[in-house]
C-alpha cells in the first residue's frame, strides 16, 4: 500500500491556542545536544545538573535548593505537598491551575490537603481574600490553612506587581502561612515587569517557586526553587516517589543552561509578550470586540459575538473559551508576527462582516 501519511516536514499554519504548541527553542535544543555526549552518572549526579542548579542560583541571587521535574502539575503539586500535612489547606484563586487543571494532583500528592478557593474576577488573590479564608474558622473540624499559592502571571494573563506580591507575603507571615508561586510563565512576568527574578520571588517573600521551562521554549521540564531551604527536606524522595526523578537527569537540566547562559529565557518572554500586545493593538476599537482582561503578559482574552468566534474557527483558527467564554490566544517564543497580523486581519474581517 502507498504511504499516505503526511511527511514530517509538512507544517500546519502556526496557531495561538496555547504556548504549549511551540517547539524547542535553539538555545535549549543546542544545550541538549551538547549534553548528549559521552557517559555521565545517572539520577542527577552529573555535571550538567549541578551546573544548571548553580546557574539558577546565580540568576536568582540566592543559594536556593533546586530540583527538576518533568511538568508543571508535578512541580506545583509536590511543592505544595512539601508545605502541608494532610489535614492542612492551601488558599488559591478560583481560576488557579492547581484548582481547575491538575486533576486533583495537589490533593493526591499531599494525601488530602484541601484547596480553599477564593472568588476572583480577574484571577488574582488579594490580601483581603487570603485573610478572610484563613480566619474564617479555627476549629478542629476545618482543615488548618497552611499555605497560599499565587500564579505569576495569572491564568487571565495579569501580572502581580512587586508590591502586590509583598503585600500577600506580609499577610502570609502574619498568619503563619507559606507562600508558593506557580511560575509556569514566570519569564513572561519578569519581562512584563522589567525586574530581576529575585525581585518578585524571595525578595518579595516567596518561599518556593515553580519556574516553568516548557512554556518558555524547552521541550519539557520545570525547576523548583526552595528559597527557604528547610522546606526542601526530603523533597528528593518526594520526586522519586512521584516518578519525577529522571534517570537521565542531564536532559532535564541541560536546557536550563542554554536558556540562562545568554538570556534566552528572558528574550523568549519579551517576544511572546510583544506579540500579545501586537494583536491587542491591531484589533483595538473593533465593534463588539472587547478585551476581557488587560494585556500584560503573553495572553489575549477577547469577548466577541459567537458569530465572530465561529467565523474564526471556519478560517482554521484554534482557541480556547474555558475562562469566561471569551477566546484566549497565547503567544510563545516562536510566535511569527506575520501570523499574528493574519489573525488580527481575520478578527477584523469577522467583526465587520457579521
Q: Could you read off the pLDDT of 287-300 as tens digits, one per residue?
A: 999 999 999 999 99
Neighbours of 5 (CB within 10 A): 7
Q: How far is CA 63 from the centre of its chain?
A: 23
CA triple 58-169-64, angle to 5 deg: 25
CA quadruple 70, 254, 331, 115: dihedral positive or negative? positive
Q: How far apart are CA 104 and CA 115, in angstroms?
A: 10
Identify the pLDDT of residue 1.
Answer: 44
| Mean of pLDDT values over 307-328 | 95
For 98-130, the three-class secondary structure string (H helix, E strand, C coil) is HHHCCCCHHHHHCCCCEEEEECCCCCCCCHHHH
Q: What local confidence, expressed as pLDDT, does residue 2 receive?
A: 45
Rounded to an integer, the average pLDDT of 83-99 is 95
The predicted model scores a pTM of: 0.95
* Predicted local confidence at residue 99, as pLDDT: 92
Is residue 303 predicted with pLDDT exceeding 50?
A: yes
How do the domains of the chain map onto residue ranges? 26-261, 265-353
Of the pLDDT bands very low, low, confident and very high (cuts 50, 70, 90), residue 10 is low
Reduce the DSSP state of residue 145 to 3 states and report it.
strand
pLDDT score recorded for residue 7: 57
Rounded-to-integer distance, Cα 9 and Cα 29, Å? 18
Average pLDDT over residues 79-95: 96
Round to whole Å and give the CA distance between 118 and 95: 9
Q: Which CATH class is domain 26-261?
A: alpha beta
The whole-angstrom separation of Cα 256 and Cα 189 is 18
The architecture of the domain spanning 265-353 is Alpha-Beta Complex (3.90)
State what percent of residues in the chain have pLDDT above 90.
Answer: 95
Mean pLDDT over 278-306 rounds to: 96
> Would you give the DSSP letter of residue 317?
-
Q: What is the mean pLDDT of residues 243-267?
A: 97
What is the Cα–Cα distance from 181 to 61, expressed in whole angstroms? 17
Confidence check: pLDDT of 125 > 60: yes
* Res. 286: pLDDT tops 80: yes
Instruction: Taking each helix axis as running N to C, give the angle between helix 186-193 and helix 264-283, from 0 to 180 degrees, rounded to the nearest 10.
Output: 70
The percentage of residues in the chain with a pLDDT greater than 70, rounded to a whole number, is 97
Predicted pLDDT of residue 353: 85
pLDDT of residue 354: 75
- E-strand spans in 204-297? 208-212, 222-226, 290-291
The chain-wide mean pLDDT, for the chain, equals 95
* pLDDT of 249 over the 90 cut: yes
Per-residue pLDDT tens over the stretch 165-176: 999 999 999 999
Q: In the predicted model, what is the mean pLDDT of residues 111-133?
A: 96
Amino acid at each position: 500500500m502507498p504511504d499516505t501519511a503526511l511527511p514530517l516536514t509538512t507544517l500546519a499554519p502556526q496557531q495561538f491556542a496555547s504556548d504549549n504548541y511551540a517547539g524547542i527553542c535553539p538555545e535549549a535544543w543546542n544545550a541538549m545536544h551538547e549534553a548528549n555526549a559521552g557517559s555521565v552518572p545517572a539520577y542527577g549526579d552529573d555535571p550538567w545538573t549541578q551546573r544548571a542548579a548553580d546557574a539558577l542560583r546565580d540568576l536568582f541571587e540566592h543559594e536556593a535548593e533546586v530540583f527538576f521535574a518533568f511538568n508543571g502539575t508535578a512541580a506545583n503539586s509536590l511543592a505544595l505537598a512539601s508545605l502541608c500535612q494532610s489535614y492542612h489547606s492551601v488558599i488559591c484563586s478560583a481560576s488557579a491551575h492547581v484548582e481547575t487543571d491538575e486533576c486533583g494532583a495537589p490533593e493526591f500528592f499531599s494525601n488530602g490537603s484541601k484547596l480553599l478557593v477564593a472568588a476572583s474576577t480577574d484571577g488574582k488573590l488579594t490580601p483581603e481574600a487570603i485573610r478572610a479564608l484563613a480566619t474564617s474558622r479555627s476549629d478542629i473540624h476545618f482543615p488548618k490553612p497552611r499555605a497560599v499559592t499565587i500564579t505569576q502571571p495569572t491564568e487571565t494573563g495579569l501580572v502581580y506587581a512587586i508590591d502586590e506580591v509583598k503585600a500577600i507575603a506580609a499577610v502570609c507571615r502574619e498568619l503563619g502561612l507559606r507562600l508558593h508561586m506557580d511560575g509556569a510563565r514566570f519569564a513572561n512576568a519578569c519581562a512584563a515587569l522589567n525586574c530581576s527574578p529575585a525581585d518578585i520571588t524571595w525578595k518579595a517573600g516567596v518561599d518556593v517557586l515553580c519556574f516553568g521551562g516548557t512554556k518558555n521554549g524547552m521541550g519539557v521540564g520545570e525547576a523548583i526553587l526552595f528559597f527557604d531551604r528547610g522546606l526542601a527536606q526530603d523533597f528528593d524522595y518526594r520526586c522519586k516517589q512521584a516518578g519525577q526523578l529522571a534517570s537521565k537527569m542531564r536532559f532535564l537540566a541541560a536546557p536550563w543552561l542554554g536558556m540562562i547562559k545568554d538570556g534566552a529565557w528572558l528574550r523568549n518572554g519579551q517576544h511572546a509578550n510583544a506579540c500579545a500586545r501586537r494583536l491587542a493593538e491591531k484589533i483595538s476599537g473593533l465593534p463588539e470586540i472587547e478585551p476581557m482582561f488587560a494585556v500584560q503578559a503573553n495572553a489575549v482574552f477577547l469577548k466577541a459575538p459567537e458569530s465572530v468566534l465561529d467565523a474564526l474557527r471556519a478560517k482554521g483558527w484554534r482557541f480556547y473559551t474555558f475562562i469566561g467564554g471569551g477566546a484566549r490566544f497565547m503567544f510563545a517564543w516562536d510566535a511569527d508576527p506575520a501570523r499574528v497580523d493574519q489573525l488580527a486581519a481575520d478578527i477584523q474581517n469577522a467583526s465587520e462582516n457579521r
